[in-house]
Structure 1
Amino acid sequence: MKSHLTNDIKYFDYNATHPPYPEILESSLEDYLQNFYNPSGITRYSLKNQGKIEQTRKYLSKITGGIEKQFVFSSTGTEANHLLVQSLRVLYPNLTSVIVSPFEHSSMYAALDVYGFSIELIQTNKTGTINLKHLDFLLQREPRPVICLYAGNETGVIQPAEEIHKLTKRYGTVFYSDLMQAFCKIPIPFSFFDGYSFSGHKIGAGMGAAVTYLPEANPKFRLFGGGNQENEHRAGTENSYAISCLQKVTELQLLSLEEKISRLKGFQSKLEVALESFGCEIIAKNENRLPNTSFFILPIQTVDFFLLGLEEKGIIVSTGSSCKSRAREASKSLLYMGYSEEEALRAIRISTGSFTTLEELEILIKETQDLIQKLQ
C-alpha cells in the first residue's frame, strides 16, 4: 500500500507517529457515520457497536494470548501507561519503590510520580541494553515490580525480555512493558509481560485508541470513574471508530510483517553505511535493534541548521523522543548511556515505516551528505 501523501514530504519520523492508512480510516469512518450510536446505550444499535468493540478485544486476545477482559481501550499511549501504573498501586498499596529502565517514555515516569512511586534505575552503558546483573542485584536486595520498555523509542534497542521475565518470576514479582515502539514492528513475546501498553497511532491507525493489558481483571484498576465502560476500568464513551481502525491496521501490519522487517533492515543498513562515511556515529550499532530505527550523532555542532536544511528540502527527521524533541533538551537516554550532554545534543533519529521508499531514502542520504559538508 502506498502513502496517501500528495505533497513532496519525505517522512522519516515513524516512531513519533505513523502516517495513517487512508483506505482503512475512510472505510471505518463510513461505517461510523452510518452507525454512530453510543456503544454504552441499551438499544440494539448500541449493543451492535459494543459488540464490535468486544470483537476487537477478542482479536487482541487471539494475537497476544492474553485474557479478553484484561484489555482496556483508552485514548492515548500516555493514558494507557497511567492505567498500567495505577494497577501497580492497587496491587501493592504499601509499595514505595519500583525498578525502572532509564529508557522509558516521559509518560511512564510521570505516572509513577503521580501514584507515589520512587524509582530505582537499572544501570546501562553505550550499548543501550540494561545491565541484567544489576537488575538481579536490585531484585535480590528488594524484590519489586520491574518496568522496562521492550524497544527504545530513540535507540531502537530491543531489551532482553526473556531474561527480565525469568528474573522477575524468580523473585516473585511482576514485569510491565511499554510496547509502543515494538507493536507491529517486530514479533513480540507477549507471554513474558504481566502488563503492557501500545497505541494505534504508532502503527498507522490514526489518533484516538490505545491499549493497556492489565495483570488481572480487577475493577479496582480504574483510571476514570463515572461509568462502567471497559469492564469498569475506564469510564467514558469508547471511541468505537478509532478502535475499529486499530484492529484493521493491526491485521494489515501483521500480514506483511516479515516482508516489512526485511525491507526496512535493508534500508537501515544502507543508511547507516552512508552515515558513517559522513562521520556520524551510530548509537548502539551492534545491538539487537528495531529494523526501522537509526539514532546517530552528527559530526557538526549546528544541529538546528541541519534540521532546517532538511525541512527546506521537504525531509522530516527528529532529534529523538517526540515528547521532548521540541524542547531541544539533551536525550536522557543518551546521558544514562554515558554520552556527554554536548554529544546528546547532536543526536538525530531517523525512523522508517510502511510507506518509506528506496527513492526517498536515497534523497535523504544525498541531502544529509550535502548539509554535513556545508555545515562543517
Structure 2
Amino acid sequence: MLYFDHCASTPPYDEVVQTMMEVMRSQYANPSSLHRLGADADKLIERSRALVAQQLQTTKGEWIFTSGGTESNNLAIKGVARQYQGRGKHLITTQIEHASVYESFKQLEQEGFRVTYLPVDRSGHVRPEHVIEAITDETILVSIMHVNNELGTIQPIEEIGMRLKQYPKILFHVDAVQSIGKLPIAIEQWGIDLLSGSAHKLRGPKGVGFLYLRSGITLYPLFTGGTQEGKQRAGTQNVPGIVASAKALRMSLESQTQRNQKHASLKSQLNSIIDDIPELKRNGGEPSSSHIVHFSYPGMKPEVIIHMLEQHGIMASTKSACSSKDDKPSRVLLAIGASHEQATGGIRISFGDEHAERDIAALGTALRLVVEHLKPLERRLT
C-alpha cells in the first residue's frame, strides 16, 4: 500500500507513539489538581509549551493548546471578532480558505459582521494589494492561510504581514496547518498575530492543536468552565497528546529542509507524469508547497478514480478530508476559474517522509491504467 494522503493525516513517528504511551501510563493526574501528581502533569505541559515556543522562535506564554487545527482556527477568528467588535465589525479573508476558516466567517456574518472574501488569481494566489484595498475603518481582522490544503499554493504571508504593520489595530491570523514542518515560518518577523497548527499533520497525534497568540491579545473564549490555557480555552488538557505533539513538532522542524528538497524532486517527477496523460489537468500554480500535487480528470467523478487507485494499492484523496464526502464542486477550484467539470473531478496527492522515486513511478503506472480503463466510460459517469 502507498499512502498519498498526508494532507489529511500523517503516520506518527515511532518515538512520538512511545512518548505518548509512556506519559499516558505515568501522568494520568489532572494537571489542574493541586496535589503533587497534578503539579507534575502541569510541568510537562509547560515544558511542552516552552519547546513549541523555542522551535518557532516565540515566547512560551504566547501558545495555547487546543484539540486541533479546526478548533485553533475557530478560536482565533471568532475569539478576535467577538472580543474586538467594539473597534469595528469588518473582517477580511479569501475565497479559498479551509472550511474551518471559511465557515467560521459565514457564522460571524449571521452575527452581524461584514466579511470581504478576497478573490485569487488563476494560480490560486491572493494579491497583497487586494488585502490593503479591502481595509476599512471598521476592519479588525485579516485571516489568510499559508499553504492551501487543496492546491498547495503558498500565499505571500510575509508581504501581507509587512503591509498590515501600518494598521496596528488590525490583527493578522494565519492558518499554518499545512505549512508547519514543511516551510519556514517567521511568526514575529512577518507580523503574524495569531497562527494555527495541528499535530497530526506533522506526524504527531490526532486531537492536539497549537494556537499562537501574540502577547497582549485577548480572545473571547469558545469554551467556559475553567481557567486552563491562560483562561483562553477551558477544559482539562490532553497531557500525553501535548507532550507527544511538542516532540513531533521538534522532529519535523529538524528534518524540514531535507524533507522539502526530497518532496520537490518527487513533485517534479509526478508533474511530468501527469502532463504526459492528456486526460489529466494540473491545478494551481507556483509558488506552491513541495508536498502537494493537485489535478483533475474533467468529466470523471473523483470517487471513481479514488476507488480505482485503491485497487492498485494507492491511497489518495479528492479534497480536504473535512469535505471529502461532499459531492459538490470544489469551492477552491471554482475560485481559480476552473470549469464545473474540472472543479468536480479534483484529485489531491500529498507526500510523506516514506516516499521515494519508485513510489511515484508506481503511482504513475496506476494513474495510466486507471485513465485507460475509464476513458470509454467518461461521459456516462458525469
Give the TM-score normalised by the residue count of structure 2: 0.91
Following the alignment from structure 1 to structure 2, what is the Cα–Cα distance between the partners of residues 328 and 302?
A: 9
Tell me what 1:165 maps to.
161
Quote the offset at 1:144 in angstroms. 4.0
Tell me what 2:177 maps to.
180
8 A contact 1:194–1:214 mirrored in 2 = yes
Change in 2 beyond 3 A, CA 1:168/1:79: same
Following the alignment from structure 1 to structure 2, what is the Cα–Cα distance between the partners of residues 65 and 30?
A: 28
8 A contact 1:80–1:210 mirrored in 2 = yes
Tell me what 1:101 maps to.
94
- Paired residue total: 367
Question: Which of 118, 126, 130 is 2:114 aligned to?
Answer: 118
Following the alignment from structure 2 to structure 1, what is the Cα–Cα distance between the partners of residues 20 and 216?
A: 29
Aligned amino acid, residue 371 of structure 2:
I
Structure 1: which 5+ runs fail to align? 1-8
Tell me what 1:283 maps to.
283
8 A contact 2:302–2:318 mirrored in 1 = no
SS of aligned partner of 2:97: coil
User: Map of 1:326-337 to 2, 5 A cutoff?
Assistant: 326-337=325-336
Quote the offset at 1:221 in angstroms. 3.5
- The question of 1:74 aligning with 2:73 is answered no
Following the alignment from structure 2 to structure 1, what is the Cα–Cα distance between the partners of residues 216 and 42?
A: 19
- 1:109-156 per-residue CA deviation (whole Å, 9 max, x = no partner) reads 222344433321112121101022322221267644211001100111
Change in 2 beyond 3 A, CA 1:174/1:49: same
Range that drifts further, 353-362 or 260-269: 353-362
Change in 2 beyond 3 A, CA 1:272/1:242: same
8 A contact 2:83–2:218 mirrored in 1 = no
Following the alignment from structure 1 to structure 2, what is the Cα–Cα distance between the partners of residues 150 and 202?
A: 14
Quote the offset at 1:208 in angstroms. 1.6
Aligned amino acid, residue 248 of structure 1:
K
User: Map of 1:75-94 to 2, 5 A cutoff?
Assistant: 75-85=67-77, 86-93=79-86
User: Map of 1:205-216 to 2, 5 A cutoff?
Assistant: 205-216=204-215
- 1:218-273 per-residue CA deviation (whole Å, 9 max, x = no partner) reads 56532211111111111111001110111111111111111111111110000010
Following the alignment from structure 1 to structure 2, what is the Cα–Cα distance between the partners of residues 22 and 299?
A: 40
8 A contact 1:302–1:375 mirrored in 2 = no
SS of aligned partner of 2:224: coil
Range that drifts further, 89-98 or 274-283: 89-98
Tell me what 1:134 maps to.
130
User: Map of 1:173-252 to 2, 5 A cutoff?
Assistant: 173-191=170-188, 192=190, 193-217=192-216, 221-252=220-251
SS of aligned partner of 1:196: strand
Tell me what 2:269 maps to.
270
8 A contact 1:300–1:372 mirrored in 2 = no
Aligned amino acid, residue 52 of structure 1:
L
SS of aligned partner of 2:242: helix
Range that drifts further, 22-31 or 125-134: 22-31
Change in 2 beyond 3 A, CA 1:215/1:31: closer
Range that drifts further, 345-354 or 62-71: 62-71
8 A contact 1:222–1:233 mirrored in 2 = yes
8 A contact 1:69–1:217 mirrored in 2 = no
Tell me what 1:151 maps to.
147
Following the alignment from structure 2 to structure 1, what is the Cα–Cα distance between the partners of residues 322 and 370?
A: 26
Aligned amino acid, residue 119 of structure 1:
V
SS of aligned partner of 1:348: strand
Structure 2: which 5+ runs fail to align? 376-382
Following the alignment from structure 2 to structure 1, what is the Cα–Cα distance between the partners of residues 277 and 100?
A: 35
Give the CA RMSD over aligned residues.
1.8
Quote the offset at 1:311 in angstroms. 1.2
Following the alignment from structure 1 to structure 2, what is the Cα–Cα distance between the partners of residues 130 and 343?
A: 21
Following the alignment from structure 2 to structure 1, what is the Cα–Cα distance between the partners of residues 234 and 126?
A: 36
SS of aligned partner of 1:190: coil
- 1:85-108 per-residue CA deviation (whole Å, 9 max, x = no partner) reads 113321333532211011211111
8 A contact 2:23–2:239 mirrored in 1 = no
Following the alignment from structure 2 to structure 1, what is the Cα–Cα distance between the partners of residues 300 and 225?
A: 52
Tell me what 2:378 maps to.
none
Quote the offset at 1:352 in angstroms. 0.5
SS of aligned partner of 2:115: strand
Change in 2 beyond 3 A, CA 1:219/1:226: farther
- 1:57-102 per-residue CA deviation (whole Å, 9 max, x = no partner) reads 1112222232322211111211111110113321333532211011
Quote the offset at 1:284 in angstroms. 2.2
Quote the offset at 1:30 in angstroms. 1.9
SS of aligned partner of 2:325: helix
Aligned identity (percent) is: 28
Change in 2 beyond 3 A, CA 1:93/1:140: closer
8 A contact 1:147–1:177 mirrored in 2 = yes
Aligned amino acid, residue 364 of structure 2:
I
8 A contact 2:99–2:322 mirrored in 1 = yes
